[in-house]
Amino acid sequence: MVRVALGAVMLLAAAVAQATWMANLEVAGAFPNLVLLAIVAVAWVEGARPAMALACAGGLLLDLMSPGPVGPHAFALVAVAYLAGFWSRNLDRHGAIYVALSAAAGTVLYSAVLAGFNWVFGLPVPALDSFGWLTLAACAYNALLMPIAAGVARRLNAVTRGTVQPV
């Protein structure tokens, strides 16, 4: 129960920070996606199922905090959780480079799904060259932050399971 409550609080904090302050950390037009980082971290630490449950909740939070239809962020994050969970489950070794690459791949998938939803719903879609550069910048940003997010997730997992004493 404590793990679920902690996960919900962390996800809510990530979604609120994503919707409010992350635009202030813009570099090359992109900013980190904290909810995506949390979902990928959970996929690597806990597996695809818990990550997909959190992705659905986190995506709905982002959908409710953004203009536009409800559902695209949730759908995109569930796809990212599945991808990261599949990747982590099928690797013999887990290293920081794989975690960072899965965040970058997840960012590409997330961006493509959101652009696709925007196109289907008749909402503005960036030009292909702009979309490519923004996605590339977001990939780099998220990949650089992903090892930190994974480390935090591993530490929280160890503390909530009681395998490590909190400092």
User: Could you write out the DSSP letters of every residue in 49-116?
Assistant: HHHHHHHHHHHHHHHHHSSS-SSHHHHHHHHHHHHHHHHHHT-S---HHHHHHHHHHHHHHHHHHHHH
Q: Are 36 and 135 in contact (CB under 8 A)?
A: no
Helix 96-120 with 72-89: angle, nearest 10 deg: 150
User: Helix-strand-coil percent breakdown of the chain, rounded to 5?
Assistant: 80, 0, 20
The pLDDT of residue 19 is 87
The pLDDT score that the predictor gives to residue 22 is 82
CA-based R_g, the chain, Å: 15
Per-residue pLDDT tens listing for the chain (167 residues): 677 787 788 889 999 998 888 878 888 888 889 999 999 999 999 989 999 999 999 999 999 998 888 999 999 999 999 999 999 888 877 788 999 999 999 999 999 999 999 999 999 888 998 899 999 999 999 999 999 999 998 888 888 887 654 44
- Say yes or no: domain 2-161 is CATH 1.10.1760.20: yes
- Tokens 């818990």: give the residue: 50
Q: What is the pLDDT of residue 26?
A: 81
CB neighbours of 151 closer than 8 A, spacing ≥ 6? none
